[in-house]
Each structure stands twice: as C-alpha cells, then as structure tokens.
Structure 1
Amino acid sequence: MDKTPFSQIIAYLNKGMLEAELTDELSELVKAVRDTHRMGELTLKLKVQLHNARDEDTVIITPAVNNKKPRLDMAKAIMYSTADGDLLRNDPNQPELQLKAIESDNRPLKTLAQ
C-alpha cells in the first residue's frame, strides 16, 4: 500500500499555512547564518495523539516550529569601577581636558596648484 508523501501531509497541516511558515522561517535562518557566519537550526516537531480512546483511526497532529537563528555577539564596553560598586565611562584617575569647539568663519577654502 502506498503511503501519503510527507510533503503532502505538511501541506495539509495548519490549514496549509505550515508549509508557508516553514519556507519563511528557513529563509530567515539562511539570512541570519549568512550575516553571522554561525550555525542555526530549524526544527519541526509533530505531536501525534489519538482523537479519542474508542477510535484508533482518528489522530490529532499538532505541529510546532522552532527557529534557532544565530545572533551576533553584543558589543562589549570598557568601564571603570569604583570601590562602592559604581560604573563610570571615564577613568576617574585621569584629568579631563577642557576642550571647546572652534567656530567656523565661513571663508572659502584655498586650493594649491599641483
């Protein structure tokens, strides 16, 4: 006896939307792998149970899709700590320079001949 192809069963599940969801999830996974150069994983889980105990012919299939897309590492930050547990962006032991902006005088720039 011939069996129904798995791809056809997937097309029936979730009113036909599971196949479209898997297509989108796989596309997102491929993009994330290309962006991060790290491995990802797409998992389809099918839970199968009897509809009721009196009828072995009727089953309920519940699909679940899990997409483990790779992520880029979060940016690191160097900070300075104090004895009381505070974190500072600038080194408290280094004096700050008193810098100020120079105003532009809007004169045209001169170019040198080559």
Structure 2
Amino acid sequence: MSARPITDTLRLIGGGTLIDTASDQMNDLVRAIDENGGTGKLVIEVTVKKATRGGAMLVTGKTTLKKPADEPMEAMLFATPDGNLLADDPRQQKLDLKRVESASDAPPVALKTAS
C-alpha cells in the first residue's frame, strides 16, 4: 500500500480552510517577492497526536507567513563641512544649462541601416 498524498490530509484539516489559507498566503508571498524582491517563507505546521480512545488521531494545522521586508528608502546626499546634508555636491560647480528649442518643424528623418 502506498502513502496517501499529504494534500489529501491537508484538505481535511479545518474543513479545507488550512489548505485554502496556505494557498492564499503562497499567492501573497509570490506577489510580494515579485514586486519587492527579497526572500519570504510560508510554513505549514501539522501536529498529530493520538486521541484518548478508539484509535483516532487528532490532527491540527496552522500556517505562518513571513513576507520580505519592504526595501528601505534611500537618497544619495552630500555632507558639508558643517555636518549638513545636501542633494547637490557642494564641491562641484553648478552648470547653467538651458533648453534649446528645435530650429525647424520638420519631422524626424528615418535612418537607413546597412544590410
């Protein structure tokens, strides 16, 4: 006789709510990792103990979901001699850049590629 698949037993715990909850949590975990990266964990814990009579077993289950932490927010800032932080490097000269408007209203020309 071969072993019965564990998914059959998981489906019986809590009237099917254990495996449904685990499935939903797995979906949440995959989405969180896809969006934010990192590592997460879904733990399905099954406890089995013998009942006091009749040869029955008491089987309980619970799930624990650990999603990856959100990425910390960061900014690259430059320190001043006074101990302040600035978005621009105070040691670099600022350039006075200006936008140049197009000289002609002609549409862009398609470039030919070499064969």
Say which structure is richer in strand. Answer: 1
TM-score for both structures, normalised by structure 2: 0.59
Structure 2 unaligned segments of length 5 or more: list them.
76-83, 85-102, 105-115
Cα distance in 1 between the residues matched to 2:72 and 2:14 = 36
**Identical-pair percentage:** 22
Cα distance in 2 between the residues matched to 1:38 and 1:48 = 33
Matches within 5 A, 1:70-81: 70-75=68-73
TM-score for both structures, normalised by structure 1: 0.59
Cα distance in 1 between the residues matched to 2:66 and 2:14 = 21
Cα distance in 2 between the residues matched to 1:46 and 1:40 = 20
Cα distance in 1 between the residues matched to 2:51 and 2:36 = 43
Q: 1:37 to 1:58 in 2, by over 3 A?
A: same
Structure 1 unaligned segments of length 5 or more: list them.
78-90, 92-112
Matched, 1:67 2:65: yes
Shift of 1:56: 6.9
4+ residue segments displaced more than 3 Å: 73-77
Letter in 1 for 2:62: A
Contact 1:43 1:67 in 2 (8 A): yes
| Aligned residues between the structures | 81
